[in-house]
Amino acid sequence: MGHSLEIEGIPKQKLVRKYLHCYGPASIGGFTDWLGCSSAQAERIWQTVIDEIEPVNLSGKARYILSDDKELLLSPQQPERKVHLLGGHDPYLGLQDRDVITDNKARQKQIWQTVSNPGAVLWQGKIVGMWKSKKRGKGLEIEVALRNDAKMLITDMQDLVDGYALFQQLKLNRITFLA
């Protein structure tokens, strides 16, 4: 009855490959935190793909990438848009090496909270602000706080916020830009 379970490749290897493909360049410490396991277990799993990864230097720190991803990382495609609104638990924010997307420690504490994470405003892969939304009846109110050097994004933000309200099937009642 039913179908037999088919496993393609070794699941441990697949896990490391997926992690490095999504979050590389990354460290084994980041992998350990992301996986939520002991350092010893993460090291054992990491070693299953040691022939498929290579070290790189990222801001003076040793990190690793999949050898298969090297060419893509060295010549990335330009995104169609440079500004993005990410929800509070977007997979991109699951990156354990948080300095990669914002080196501001105070901002890291604001973005990654135990509960009620705000959304992040991303510009060219870096966090440049935060946003929150509140539903009021059939409407939506949004607050956006941008870094001072990112104020030029306000016009881009309006289109993204309009799109978010449409996605939520709500009327955008108000957007507030905080200092």
126 and 70 in one domain? no
Q: What share of the chain is helix, strand, coil (3-state, %, to 5)?
A: 40, 25, 30
70 and 91 inside one domain? no
Name, in order, each residue with C-beta under 8 angstroms of 97's C-beta and a sequence gap of 6 or more. Answer: 23, 26, 27, 30, 63
Domain total in the chain: 2
- Residues 6 or more apart whose CB falls under 8 angstroms from that of 49 comprise 13, 16, 17, 20, 66
Domain boundary among the residues 51, 74, 97 is at 74
116 neighbors 133 (Cβ within 8 angstroms)? no
Reported as a single tens digit per residue, the pLDDT across 39-66 is: 999 999 999 999 999 999 988 889 999 9
Residue 6 lies in a domain: no
CATH number for the domain that contains residue 164: 3.40.630
Residue 97: which domain range? Answer: 83-178
Q: List, in sequence order, every residue forming a beta bridge with 175; answer none if it has no partner.
A: 142
- Does residue 3 have a pLDDT over 60? yes
> Does residue 98 sit in the same domain as residue 148?
yes
Confidence class of residue 144 from pLDDT cuts 50, 70 and 90? very high
Percent of the chain with pLDDT over 70: 94
What CATH code is carried by the domain that includes residue 59?
A: 1.10.10.10
Residues 87, 36 share a domain: no
- What pLDDT, on a 0 to 100 scale, did the predictor assign at position 49? 96
pTM score? 0.70
Q: Is residue 140 part of a domain?
A: yes
The predicted structure's pLDDT at residue 6: 64
SS3 8: coil
Give the pLDDT mean for 137-146.
Answer: 92
Q: For residue 92, name the pLDDT band (cuts at 50, 70, 90).
A: confident
The per-residue pLDDT for range 159-176, each reduced to its tens digit, is: 899 999 999 999 999 999
Provide the edge-to-edge strand list for the sheet that holds 171-178.
Answer: 83-86, 119-123, 126-136, 139-146, 171-178
